Amino acid sequence: MRTARPIEERIERLPFSGCWLWLGHLSSNGYGKLGAQYAHRLVYEKERGKIESGFQIDHLCKVKSCVNPDHLEPVTQQENIRRSEAVSIINGRKTHCPSGHPYNQENTYLDKNNQRYCMVCKRERQSSATYKAVEREHKMKIYHGR
């Protein structure tokens, strides 16, 4: 009969970053797994105690396979999403367009996919000679059926 390896044998402690990398199975999205449970939650509860109901574990180091309890913090789902590195979250934090115009109620257009656009930049693009030439060419293709 095989005995299960202790959790400590499944962790590599990195001296410079302080991360404790999970050496066991990783889920398809990069989190350590031990059976059906997430390794970071198991280690956190072993070292710090039970995680309150309704809380998720945020990886402060942003390394999904890290199980160091010093790098983990219980937070609400809303807070975990707010801290996320997802492109939509990063873009949502921006207060100005790349040209420096403010994203405010008067200057921001939301398309059907809820993407923000700067109205000043849009007007500048539409008034440019290049934009008008491309539009003319596009209309000609439609008119001539090409």
d(CA 84, CA 93): 11
State how far the alpha carbon of 13 is from the alpha carbons of 65, 68, 76, in Å: 12, 8, 27
Contact status, residue 131 vs residue 137, Cβ threshold 8 Å: no
Q: Which among 73, 76, 43 is positioned nearest to 57, based on CA atoms?
A: 73
pLDDT reported for residue 91:
81
What does the pLDDT profile of the chain (146 residues) look like in tens digits?
A: 555 678 889 999 999 999 999 999 999 999 999 999 999 999 999 999 999 999 999 999 999 999 999 999 999 999 998 888 777 777 888 899 899 999 999 999 888 988 889 999 888 887 776 767 777 777 777 666 65
Domains contained in the chain, CATH given: 1-85 (3.90.75), 94-146 (no CATH)
Q: Which helix (H) or strand (E) holds 135?
A: helix 129-144
